[in-house]
Amino acid sequence: MTILYSKLARAYHEMYQTIFDYDQDFQIYDTFLKKYNGKKVLELGCGSGNLGHRLVQANYNYLGLDLFPEMLTIARDEFPDIIVQQGDMRSFELKTKFDVILISGRSFCYLTTNQDVIRCLIQVFKHLKPNGILIFDNFYAPIIFSDFHTNLEQEAIYQTRKYRRISKNNPNFQTGWTWNWDAKYIVEENNQIQEYFDYSILRAFTEDELQLFLNLCGFNILELKKENAAIWLVAQKKNSIREIIKKMEL
């Protein structure tokens, strides 16, 4: 299992201030939220709170959920204005319903089996108000695998620390459009160097796959946006989940 969001949580938070554009991500989600009048928002996979903080600053009624307590500790320290709690997007249970649920930051890519995807979407369905909206982003398989980057290096500087990540990606196709992401992290500070190794399996999706998953789990797609290797979807809760899914032992 990945240690990127546990042992390396602080490194993740600091690196991604450089290598991920949270302001652009916020603009995309904010545009969707305004269009669909989403006021009460749940973010699944909220991480260290970068998007959540921006949503709270924009006056959304926000709750963030993440699997890793280390990420939530950073979120509370860095952004005292947001409310976050621990939970698994495949099995969370809350006593309230939301106008909109977000799955941001490509978190959906860790749902590597069909069962994982369906379990997550069922929980989303249960926690949305009638006609509620799901908005999420993920890797888009046709672009990822038509120009697959086996090796990738990234660098970032945060205050006195310099980070370098050397990634090796290898397709495995075990449970879909999946690949092994093996990464070496090099952290340099005060002329001292530490190295860490992380191993993950990620999954990209085609448009047809996402359409089928959403339809089976009670959603209609309203919008779809593609940009480079990413895909954003907006889906609306329908009346009920398909019988085939209700009968599954999840």
Residue 200 neighbours by CB under 8 Å, 6+ apart: 2, 4, 110, 180, 181, 182, 183
H helices of 97-217, in order, are 114-127, 141-146, 207-216
Residue 243 neighbours by CB under 8 Å, 6+ apart: none
pTM of the model: 0.95
Ordered by where they begin, the domains of the chain are: 9-139+205-246 (3.40.50.150), 143-203 (2.20.25)
In sequence order, what are the beta bridge partners of 166?
153, 184
50-80 residue pLDDT tens: 999 999 999 999 999 999 999 999 999 999 9
**Helix, strand or coil for residue 240?**
coil
164-180 residue pLDDT tens: 999 999 999 999 999 99
Secondary structure element (H or E) that encloses residue 74, with its range: helix 69-78
The structure tokens 């369906």 sit at 118
Among 28-37, 85-94, 158-167, 240-249, the minimum mean pLDDT is found in 240-249
d(CA 110, CA 177): 12
Provide the pLDDT confidence category of residue 247 given band limits of 50, 70 and 90. low
Q: Check residue 1 and give its pLDDT.
A: 74
Provide the pLDDT confidence category of residue 219 given band limits of 50, 70 and 90. very high
Q: Is residue 148 pLDDT above 70, yes or no? A: yes
